[in-house]
Structure 1
Amino acid sequence: MKIIFTGGGTGGHIYPALALIKTIREKRPDTDILYIGKLDSQEEKLCERENIPFIGIKVLPLYRKNPFKNIKTIINFLKSYHECKKIIKNFDPDWIVGTGGYVSCPVIYAGAKKHYKTIIHEQNSTPGVTNKFLAKYAKYIAISFPESAKCFPQKKVVLTGNPRAQVVYEKKIIKKSDLGLTENKKFILIFMGSLGAKYVNEAIVKLLPLLNKRKEWEVVFVTGKEHYEDIQHKISSMVLNNIQLKPYIDYMPAYYQHADLVICRAGATTLAEIAALGLAAILIPSPYVTNNHQEKNALSLVNNNAAIMIKEKDLNEDILYKKICSLLDNPYELRVMRNNMFKQGIRDSCERFLKILDS
């Protein structure tokens, strides 16, 4: 079998593809794989790291605030479309899989026009503009949230979940003590993505002294590399014995497996991971994303009593502390939320994809 993967721009589009490629290599080792992404991009670096054959193309995004710039985008799209047709013809894949981001548009479109079998994967509950456009041309549309189904032609939709969640669920066991954590304390994991979130981080800095008073709790606060030094300076005069400050965590599953509660954004990959593990969560959706899709992602869990959501505009340390206490001081409520979250998780996403690829 030969498969072309495409997707990029953010980790949320890239990591599901990498997770699926990992499973395919393990279970279908004779499969030839090619990744088409943007030149000089995050996906190119990650493919190089994972030893995945990669071809880079030049692509431009849609400009929502300045439509006149889209003239250049359209011209670029036509060029990349013809380039992709040549790449696809030479590779002659059995399937082309797109995991979102504007780089996937010319690849999937070219494949469909050349009558190759195509799959697009939507990570969010509300589809992005690329997948909305490509839905007409794809043979199958893999979705991560049941709510997405109504946005696409029903006969094409398959609920697969997010392949990244399966990779996290099939984690290696790491001892709590190896992470500098205490066995008999409740563990709160706070993170806002690789770059962090300035406004939320400021609220959490004010929250830390309140959390530190609870000697039966301990906290790992992942600030994001961009904000680490600033926050470290702000808390330097505080005595915070139960708090670990980190700029970034390379292997988040190690911390997930011991977390009693996570406080995080509502990006699609993060939610897929914590749902697969059944982690209780307080979600603070980013209001700065397209179509407010993080809030919609969060609501899909909140509506199933699987998480608590606080909008960023409503956030302060007192509200957040009360929400934390409502869970950690009430074992029954915490257990119910974890059970509900676990029910929302899809832990066999890669196998669901393999069934499609074998069809």
Structure 2
Amino acid sequence: MSNRKSTYRFILSGGGTGGHIYPAIAIANELKERHPDAEFLFVGAKDRMEMEKVPLAGYKIEGLWISGLQRKLTLKNLMFPFKLMSSLFKSRKIINRFQPDVAIGTGGFASGPLLQVANSKGIPTLIQEQNSYPGITNKLLSKKANSICVAYDGLEKFFPKEKLKLTGNPIRKDLLDIEGKSTASKVEFGLNYDKKTLLILGGSLGARRINSFIESRLDFFKANDIQLIWQCGKLYFEQYKKHSDLENVQVHAFLNEMDTAYAAADIIISRAGASSVSELCVVGKPVIFIPSPNVAEDHQTKNAKAIADKNAAILIKESTLETDFDKAFEQLLQSEDIQESLGKNIKELALANATTTIADEVEKLLNRR
């Protein structure tokens, strides 16, 4: 190891959604533990959530004027070339000033210009792809990246095989031991020990279709003697909070203590964003995935299918909820064998040491400098 160990500089970029931001923060935290005197700088898109979340995690961030291409002709698309040129120019200024030893990208608009500039200046780059179907930014960056950390098998279809490292996605450390928290979590949520608990997750902002469907099935859950922990998202809380007045229904805008919520659950309904899928693999509970159809390349459906194809989860598309959900849920509820099998199979797909393994890959790049 070089004697510059205490003065390493890491530049990280990932944003747009929590699925890109939190892995970047997890990687930074791991590197900070290893190199307490290192300097860190994040680069994000000016008007996206990373500009709020990254400082809350204790890191500096600079914003680029960048956004993605829309699927139809819009003013934003006409502005894209100007935003790209502006972002490349600013990325060059940031990198010239900060002089990073390694550049790390976890996806999202801003990581494109930043890592493009890093590549052009000979700075070692690592990209981390969370999904089973990569986004366009990482596909373009992969040609010059030194290392590509992925969470699914089979991505040599999209990336140079010799650069691939199967690491999994970084997850919160408090999820690694939820089995011992089950009793305390039920007390914390005030749950009935004799009833099955269904945890419903639609993401931090919420999922309109999942929320409206759950509302339509409250009598169905009551008839099946189910108690609900329902995270409806902050966008929809005012609309659905009234249902907390019902017996055995709790409606939450957001769940801060996810380890407690996972520990309390017997069955989980979730979207299939990459971070959620990775967490649910570690949690090891029976899951019904209802992927969002409104994301680029329909990657949530592909993420969920990769798990369901291994008999490790149930996949129900939004378009077939009305016809498929009740039967699938009752079959799962009535069979302890199916519940146990799904929980066991999804747990076997977990890559719990992802953050450590990715940091190890970064260390290898440091030694190239």
Query: What TM-score do you get using the length of structure 1 for normalisation?
Result: 0.92
Tell me which amino acid in the other structure corresponds to 2:265: A
What amino acid maps onto 2:335 in structure 1? N
CA deviation map 1:292-318 (0-9, x unaligned)? 1111000000010000011111112x7
Cα gap change, 1:230 to 1:68, in 2 (>3 Å): closer
Aligned position for 1:74: 81
* Counterpart check, 1:199 vs 2:209: yes
1:299 aligns with 2:309: no
Please say if 1:28 is aligned against 2:35: yes
Post-superposition Cα deviations, 1:333-356, rounded to whole Å, max 9, x if no partner, equal 111110100011110001111211
Q: Does 1:353 align with 2:358?
A: yes
1:278 equivalenced with 2:259 (yes/no): no
Counterpart for residue 266 of structure 2: 260
Tell me if the contact between 1:165 and 1:276 (Cα under 8 Å) persists in the aligned partners.
no
SS at match of 2:206: coil
Query: Which whole-Å deviations, capped at 9, do the CAs of 1:153-212 have from their partners, x for residues lacking one?
Result: 101111111112555326694532012223343211012112222222222112111212
Match of residue 294, structure 2, among 269, 279, 288: 288
Counterparts of residues 1-359 of structure 1 (less than 5 Å): 1-66=8-73, 69-164=76-171, 166=173, 168-169=175-176, 173=181, 175-215=185-225, 217-233=226-242, 235=243, 240-316=246-322, 319-359=324-364
What is the deviation of 1:109?
0.2
In 1, Cα distance between equivalents of 2:158 and 2:174: 27
Distance 1:152 1:185 in 2: 47
Unmatched 5+ stretches in structure 1? none
Alpha-carbon separation, structure 2, partners of 1:278 and 1:246 = 23
Unaligned runs of 5+ in 2: 1-7, 365-369
CA contact (8 A) 1:123 1:144 kept: yes
Residues 326-335 or 160-169, more deviating = 160-169
Amino acid at match of 1:299: K
1: CA distance between counterparts of 2:265 and 2:257? Answer: 14
CA distance in structure 2 between the partners assigned to 1:356 and 1:87 by the alignment:
24
Residues in 2 aligned to 1:331 and 1:60: alpha-carbon distance in whole angstroms: 47
Q: Which runs of 4+ in 1 moved over 3 A?
A: 67-71, 165-168, 170-175
Instruction: Report the secondary structure of 1:120's partner residue.
Output: strand
* One-letter identity of the residue aligned with 1:211: F
C-alpha contact (below 8 Å) 1:196/1:224 kept by paired residues: yes
Identity, in percent, stands at: 34
Give 1:80 deviation, angstroms: 1.7
The amino acid that maps onto 1:4 is: I
Which secondary structure does the structure 2 equivalent of 1:175 belong to? helix
Letter of the 1:141 partner, please give it: I
Contact residue 165 and residue 346 of structure 1 kept, 8 A: no
Residues 5 and 129 of structure 1: is their aligned pair in 2 closer, same or farther, counting only changes over 3 Å?
same
Equivalent residue letter for 1:339? K
Instruction: Give 3-state SS (helix, strand or coil) of 2:213's partner.
Output: helix
Residue matched to 2:3: none
| Kept after mapping to 1: 8 A contact 2:45/2:109 | no
Aligned residues of 1:85 and 1:114 also touching (Cα < 8 A): no
Q: Is the 8 A contact 1:165 1:349 kept in 2?
A: no
Distance in 2, Cα, partners of 1:145 & 1:288: 21
CA-to-partner distance for each residue in 1:68-107, whole Å, 9 max, x for gaps? 7545312221222122122112222221000111111110
Q: Which moved more, 1:121-130 or 1:180-189?
A: 180-189
